[in-house]
Structure 1
Amino acid sequence: MLFQIKSYIKFLWHSKNEHAVHSPFVFSLLTNCFYNKKFKSEYVLLRQYRSELLQNKNTIEVTDFGAGSRVFKSNTRQIAQIAKTAGISTKRAQLLFRIVNYFKPSSILEIGTSLGLATSALSLGYPEAKLTTLEGCPETAKQAQLQLQKFNFNNVECVVTEFKSYLEICNLKSVIYDLIYFDGNHSKKATIEYFELLLPTITNETVWIFDDIHWSSEMEEAWEIIKNNPKVTVSIDTFQWGLVFFRYEQPKQHFIIRT
């Protein structure tokens, strides 16, 4: 916690808003998406989705995995508690919705479904998109799928899988995802592995969002490696997320932005 507080103070010191941005691409993203405060009717559905989970007192067996498919730990947890501690916040869900709505990606990949709080925002942002979401824990995935079906998020395919093996298949087949939300493993090693495995699939319009880039010193190191990769042209640090773009027409620039 102390590390994150120090990181946040450093972030605030260096962060800017749209008035300090001279990139037309980023300025448009900030003014028309990030800082768009207009009420969206979809926000009501996102809140209902969250509210139901927070009221769900049932328990499930949650399994976390280590390398490969080896079980790292397993424990019984209440669904409401998972939603409260592991789910995306209301503010972040709304921003994620706006980002998807702004870029309108035809195909989306989410690495780390959990109970589907972020999934619902991804799905609502552009219902015409094909959304694939990956989860390693079968019971958590089952609950997410039931909840998503209940709210008629019909463009979502839930896949129970070990992340690395699935992404290796994406690499081999050069599967294209226009937007990828990385929220499956907050370790430097795994984050860099996922990044490198998916690099061959990028296009000029690709948008990648990495969650919890200031979670630990290791995640900050991973973020530095990612944003400095030669194929990354534009990167945006919002403290909670790191967004990267691969637009060949853009000069290489890094932005630290308050949201």
Structure 2
Amino acid sequence: MFKPFSYLKFYITASNAHGIHSPFIYDFVTKGLYSNSSYSHGKSMDILLRYISYFTPQTIELNGANETLKKVLLEEFPFLEFSTSSETIYFDLSSESLQHMFHLEDIDLNNKILFFDCIRQNKKTKKIWKSILETKDHFISVDLYYCGILFFKPTQAKQHFRIRI
């Protein structure tokens, strides 16, 4: 029963592109997330692919990811390299290793973008996501129900967006 009620609560409180007052996030949502790119790998994977298509990072760091994710990313974006010092960091919160030892303060966050998958897979991953949002760091968070994205920009005020996809 966790997922249906969790989704209903999210849906009621989330907005679409018209409720966004940040030009940076509005452009990302309308030109990136709402683009006509047709991927068919599941909600979180499609959001990640649209993110990469919009921002075109050259490298990505994968934490808790499986080989299927790597394969799909290389098929869709042959230029993409996997690195441990990347501007984009992917976390799969359903990974047992990440659930027990995830600490945001262990990461150099300056001008980084963190992509969190499975933020509402169960109560434990939702709790981890909520604790991440409670940190004092300056970031923009985008909650898309299936996944979440944090944009760390030192000049930007902390903001939180809940967006229906």
Q: TM-score, normalised by structure 2?
A: 0.85
Measure the CA separation in 2 of the matches of 1:108 and 1:254: 23
Contact 1:97 1:124 in 2 (8 A): no
Which residue of 104, 108, 111 maps to 1:196?
Answer: 104
Q: Report the count of equivalent residues.
A: 165
Measure the CA separation in 1 of the matches of 2:118 and 2:15: 19
Q: What residue in structure 2 maps to residue 4 of structure 1?
A: 3
Measure the CA separation in 1 of the matches of 2:138 and 2:76: 24
Unmatched tracts of structure 1, length 5 or more: 48-87, 133-174
Q: Is 2:144 the counterpart of 1:235? A: no
Q: Between Structure 1 and Structure 2, whose CA radius of gyration is higher? A: 1
Aligned-residue identity in percent: 28
Measure the CA separation in 1 of the matches of 2:113 and 2:75: 17
Indicate the structure with greater helix content.
Answer: 1
Q: Match of 1:194, as an amino acid?
A: F
Contact 1:186 1:219 in 2 (8 A): no
Measure the CA separation in 2 of the matches of 1:190 and 1:93: 18
Unmatched tracts of structure 2, length 5 or more: none
Q: What residue in structure 1 maps to residue 90 of structure 2?
A: 181
Which aligned pairs between 1:213-232 and structure 2 lie closer than 5 A? 213-232=119-138
Which aligned pairs between 1:29-178 and structure 2 lie closer than 5 A? 29-39=28-38, 43=39, 89=42, 91-116=43-68, 118-124=69-75, 126-132=77-83, 175-178=84-87
Taking structure 1 as reference, are residues 195 and 128 closer, same or farther at Cα in structure 2, changes over 3 Å only? farther
Q: TM-score, normalised by structure 1?
A: 0.57
Taking structure 1 as reference, are residues 123 and 228 closer, same or farther at Cα in structure 2, changes over 3 Å only? farther
Contact 1:18 1:31 in 2 (8 A): yes
